[in-house]
Amino acid sequence: MLQAGYEVVLFVDKREKSHDTIIASLLAEKVKCELRTLAVGDFLWVARPSAATATSTRPIGSPGTADDSIFILDCIAERKTIADLVSSVLDGRYKEQKSRLASLPIPHCFYIVEAEYMAVNPFMQVHCPSMNIESVKTAMVST
């Protein structure tokens, strides 16, 4: 239960490629959100005092973060296009990122993969035919 005087805000990582479009879409749906530098993940839900302003320049979640009144909630997400997911599985970044997410004391860590599940096969056949399609499908559903 959220205490009186707090609001839930979605922090979107500043380094997210299409953050302007994402923020605009979220604000159009009346989702309270703002750009921040996140140490891990692309989207992080927090609770903070309603009158809070963005005063810290340190990445949220990093040691010594000055945002003492901000409480990290139980959900974090990493966003991937299908091309980035395939690339990260091939070069090993996927395992490293998954490990960093799994090490957090946040119970709900997940990937948002921008692709239809059924579109993976045609993409793979064109862009990396020698790669095991099951590796990518597993990565899409088992984070």
Q: Is 96 a known active-site residue?
A: no
End-to-end alpha-carbon separation of the chain, Å?
A: 27
**Which of the following is catalytic: 42, 67, 74, 96?**
42
CB 36 within 8 A of CB 54: yes
- The encoded tokens of residue 17 equal 């490629």
List Cβ neighbours of 7 (8 Å cut-off, separation of 6 or more): 32, 47, 48, 49, 50
Q: Is 42 a known active-site residue?
A: yes
CB 9 within 8 A of CB 45: yes
**Which of the following is catalytic: 16, 34, 67, 96?**
16
CB 45 within 8 A of CB 77: no
Q: Is 67 a known active-site residue?
A: no
The residues annotated with a catalytic role in the active site are 13, 16, 42
